[in-house]
Amino acid sequence: MNSSTTGASKGLRAMAPAMVGGLTTAGLWCVHIALRENLSPGDPWRLLVTGLLVAAFGLWVAGYVRLSRTLDEFQRQRQELALSIAFPVSLVAAFGVSFFAGEGVPLGMDPRDLPAVMIVAYLMGIVIAWWRYR
């Protein structure tokens, strides 16, 4: 096995928990959206999927933290740039949605989908960081 293959497989091994967590979260999120359209609040299936969704999200976060520990200084700088975009966008979105919802202003957005805004902001940050250092 040559060095680049070893490096790639090492990178994939480090990424695996975050990828599994991310994909599981995405799948359960879709199931949750489908269930909340069809089942009433408090339904045991809804509660079960909600619990699993939170656990999967936790798994993704743990995988991401583990992955970030394996990054070198350049990769960390790219992540820092991505997070410097995602963090303020997420804060403003969370602040805006929660306060407007509290005031009874309809924003046309389910507050439960707020994490999706944060994830999209982070992905935008990743693309911008990749573009900046390509």
Could you give the CA distance from residue 131 to residue 26 in angstroms, rounded to a whole number?
25
For 23, the token pair is 């994909």
Helix (H) or strand (E) segment spanning residue 122: helix 114-132
CB atoms within 10 A of CB 13: 10
Interface characters, 43-82, with other proteins (x: CB under 8 A): -----------------------------xxxx-x-----
Residue 7 engages other proteins in binding (rule: CB under 8 A): yes
Residue 40, token pair as written in the block:
């009433």
CB closer to other proteins, 11 vs 96:
11
CB of 133 to other proteins, least distance (A): 5
Q: How far apart are CA 38 and CA 31, in angstroms?
A: 11
To other proteins, the closest distance from the beta carbon of 134 in angstroms equals 8
Q: Which of 3, 38, 103, 106 binds other proteins (CB under 8 A)?
A: 3
Indicate whether 131 belongs to the interface with other proteins (CB under 8 A).
no
